[in-house]
Amino acid sequence: MARCPECDSPIELSKKVELGEFIDCPECGTMLEVISLKPLDLDYAFGEEEWEEEWEEEEEEEI
Ligand SMILES: [Zn+2]
């Protein structure tokens, strides 16, 4: 069982889920990627640009 990073809903995954597998959140429909198996963890499948923007914002706050 993992949690959706978008809506925080618990997502039940099959036992044969693989690292890097894409999964749709049944609650919000966000495309997620399995980024870790132990512990099971999900992250946005296509959210790299958003992550970069967040990092830039943090850097500006520190300066
Ligand atoms: Zn969700």
pLDDT (tens digit per residue) in 12-57 = 888 889 999 999 999 999 999 999 999 999 999 976 555 556 666 6
pTM above 0.85, yes or no: no
pLDDT number for residue 50: 56
Whether residue 4 contacts residue 25, with contact meaning beta carbons closer than 8 Å, is answered with: yes
Q: How far is the CA of 56 from the centre of ligand 1 (A)?
A: 25
pLDDT number for residue 14: 83
* CATH number where 23 lies: 2.20.28.160
Q: How many helices (H) and strands (E) does the chain have?
A: 1, 5
Residues sharing a CB contact under 8 Å with residue 41, sequence separation 6 or more, in sequence order: 2, 34, 35
State the residue range of the domain holding 33.
2-62
Q: How far is the CA of 33 from the centre of ligand 1 (A)?
A: 12
User: Does residue 9 have a pLDDT over 90?
Assistant: yes
pLDDT number for residue 48: 56
Q: How far is the CA of 41 from the centre of ligand 1 (A)?
A: 13
Counting the structural domains of the chain, the total is: 1
Give the span between the Cα atoms of 11 and 4, in whole angstroms: 7
Give the span between the Cα atoms of 44 and 30, in whole angstroms: 7
How many CB atoms are located within 10 Å of the residue 19 CB?
9
